[in-house]
Structure formats: C-alpha cells, structure tokens
Amino acid sequence: MCDVVVIGAGIIGMLSARELHNAGYSVTILEQGETARESSWAGGGILSPIYPWRYPEPINRLAAWSQKAYPGFCEQLHEQTGVDSQWIRSGFLMLDVDEHERARDWCQDRKIPVANWFGESLQAREPELSSMFGRAVCMTDVAQVRNPHLVKALHKSLLDSGIKIREHCPVRHLKIQQACVTGVETEQGLVTTDKVLVTAGAWSGELLQHNNLVLPVKPVRGQMLLFKARPGLLKHILLWEGRYLIPRADGRILMGSTVEDVGFSHAVTEQAAHLLCEKAVTMVPALESIEIERHWAGLRPGSPTGVPYIGPVQGIEGLYLNTGHFRYGVVMGLASARLVAELISGTEPTMPASDYAPGSLSEQVG
C-alpha cells in the first residue's frame, strides 16, 4: 500500500506527486492513458492568465506564486533530466485598445513591469505586427514554457525519483467505507490506500459521479494551430480579442485558441482552423504564406469560475482534490500542487486555502 494514490498524470497530478514525494510520502499515480497526453500537452504554456485583471484574486494569487517559482523549477528539471522546458521571458503584448488603461493600472498596483508602446516604437519592437495596431501594452516579464517539453522533463524526473506511474490504468470509482477512503477500483483491480488525490482534469466530475459526488468540472475544448515559421519572426506573445500567438524558440508559432462546450470530443474543425488562421493573419500578415504544420484540440478542466478545487473533500476522510484549473493549469500548477501537499500533510499553507475548498460535494458546488 502506498501513502497517496494520485488519479491522473497530467501536469497537476505530476506536480502534486512531486510535492508529496518531497514531503516524505510514497506516491503512485494511476493514469488511464499515457502520461500527460491530454490538456497538459495541448496547451499554450503562457505563464499568465490572459487579461489577468479580469480574473478573481484566487486565480492571480496562484499564478503570481508560480510565476516566481518557474525559472528555478525549469532550471532544476533541466539539470536533473537534460530536457529543456524552454522557459522564455517573451513578454505579453496586448493589442486591445480599450483596455490599455485598465491593464496599466492593474500592473502598476501590483508592481508588475508594464510598458506602453505606440506607432513607430511599437513597430520597431515587433516589426511583423500589422500596422493596423498603433498602440499596445506590454507585460514585459511574462514568460512561456513549451508544454510537451515541460511534461516530458517532469515525467522523467518523477520516475528518476522513484514515484510510480501506472499508465493504461483507468480508475472506475473510489472505495469509500464509513466515510473513509480505503482504495480505488481500477480496470486492473483494487489499489488500497487511505489517501486519494483526484487530479483527473476534465474527467474529474465524471469520475466522482460514480460515487454520487457532484463536482462541476467539465471538458471545455480548445483548438490550436501551429505555424512552421522562421526563428525570430515574432518576439513577443501577442494577444488580440482573446486570441494569442506564441513564438517558440525554434521559430514555430502557436495560434490559440477556441473555447467550446462540446463534451469529451477531441475533434478539430475546419471552422476553427479558418477562424484562428484569419485572426493570426490579421495580427501578423506574414503568416498568410506560412505553412500550418499541425492542428489539434485539448480538453480543459472547466470549473464554473476558473478557480480550481484544492484540498480535502468535507465528510470523506482521505479524499482530496486538485482539479478544475480550466484555462490556467500550467501557470497555477506549481502553487496549487504546493498547497494541496501542505493540506494533505497538515503543514501551514503557503496561501489562504479557503478560496479553493471543495466543500462536501454532496450537492452542487460553485
């Protein structure tokens, strides 16, 4: 019997397992498919909420904590595993004219570096940007990671540190006796444990339903396009009308994303490709002649307000959640993993935990 069974090997499950291992627990992760092939692979890796001033404090609190920790974390992973997560401080250039003042004030209140660029100075900083944009606000310290590299490094570091990951091992339901967790029933048999952490991403709500527990986490599809551009075409992450372009170190540019309520479908659509392509070319006309190398979709773990559920489920001893990170699981992940490990081990939480408390799940939360 291991100390903690973690259900789901996405970024949240892996980061949580790492924190629990560092706190002295023996941890096994059960994954229904392959490690980190779902939302955590598919996402953009922008280390900031988009339009952060529109989000509640509990989201920005987790993001801010993680943003500080990310450079050291990626460096450590690189040293341990030889895999570079490509943490790059690209800056976040926001082209939505009507929010300039709000953005600037929000950043200044929090002492977050922010710059206002106009006309020629904007064009000089981002020469391929369409001339229709005469003005932009740049959050100059915002960084990105390359998701597939980050999760590969993380996976390797977990295996090297002795954390067990059982792939192709779907959990059917939890074993709960007299309001205490006693194990999980998987397609490969019963795994006994007195502590279970659910990090099953978009599937978390569906999984808990099998135990008549109600958690409003559901899949929200996001489609992405990858342009095979040359290195240096873009310098910053660009954001306009909710769509973004992310320049990777090798020149490839990611265009995202759609936000679609279509259940558990990973299908990609012509309509989304057309929309994303049109937006991309409006921002950066040079993309019109650049090949689209790939088009994919991921399922975000959508929660009603985007605030994740972190901590013990009231009334069921040994059941914990770290799920529902919706659009920002990468940037919130380091902080939420630290917090859930603190709540499991009973150490003083790094940040106020009550904003994320799952409650009893016996009726609709959120």
- Candidates 227, 231, 221, 222; CA nearest to 280 is 227
Q: Is 253 in the site for ligand FAD (CB under 6 A)?
A: no
Q: Is 52 in the site for ligand FAD (CB under 6 A)?
A: no
Q: How far apart are CA 41 and CA 290, in angstroms?
A: 24
SS3 127: coil
Side chain identity at 348, as an amino acid letter? E
Residue 74 structure tokens: 């990626």
Among 240, 328, 336, 341, binds ligand FAD (CB under 6 A): 328
Q: How far apart are CA 246 and CA 237, in angstroms?
A: 5
Q: Is 39 in the site for ligand FAD (CB under 6 A)?
A: yes
What stretches of 163-271 adopt beta strand conformation (E)? 164-166, 171-177, 180-186, 189-192, 196-198, 218-227, 237-240, 243-247, 253-256
User: What is the per-residue binding string for ligand FAD in 127-166, x denoting contact by CB under 6 A?
Assistant: ----------------------------------------
Side chain identity at 48, as an amino acid letter? S
Contact, 80 vs 155, CB < 8 A? no
Q: Which is nearer to ligand FAD, 114 or 184 (CB)?
A: 184
Q: Is 310 in the site for ligand FAD (CB under 6 A)?
A: no
Contact, 138 vs 115, CB < 8 A? yes
Q: Is 12 in the site for ligand FAD (CB under 6 A)?
A: yes
Q: How far apart are CA 130 and CA 127, in angstroms?
A: 8
Q: Which whole-number Å values give the CA distances from 136 to 112, 162, 238, in the listed order?
A: 16, 47, 10
Q: What are φ and ψ of residue 299, in 5° steps?
A: -110, 110
Q: Which is nearer to ligand FAD, 118 or 264 (CB)?
A: 264
Among 157, 257, 303, 336, binds ligand FAD (CB under 6 A): 257
CB of 58 to ligand FAD, least distance (A): 15
Q: Which whole-number Å values give the CA distances from 24 to 188, 230, 297, 342, in the listed order?
A: 27, 46, 37, 12
Q: How far apart are CA 329 and CA 334, in angstroms?
A: 9
Q: Is 200 in the site for ligand FAD (CB under 6 A)?
A: yes
CB of 295 to ligand FAD, least distance (A): 11
Among 32, 67, 81, 336, binds ligand FAD (CB under 6 A): 32
CB of 270 to ligand FAD, least distance (A): 17
Among 8, 58, 247, 358, binds ligand FAD (CB under 6 A): 8
Q: Is 229 in the site for ligand FAD (CB under 6 A)?
A: no
CB of 13 to ligand FAD, least distance (A): 5
Q: Is 4 in the site for ligand FAD (CB under 6 A)?
A: no
Residues at the site binding ligand FAD, with contacts judged by CB under 6 A: 7-13, 30-33, 38-40, 42-46, 170-171, 199-203, 207, 222, 224, 256-257, 298, 300-301, 323, 325-331
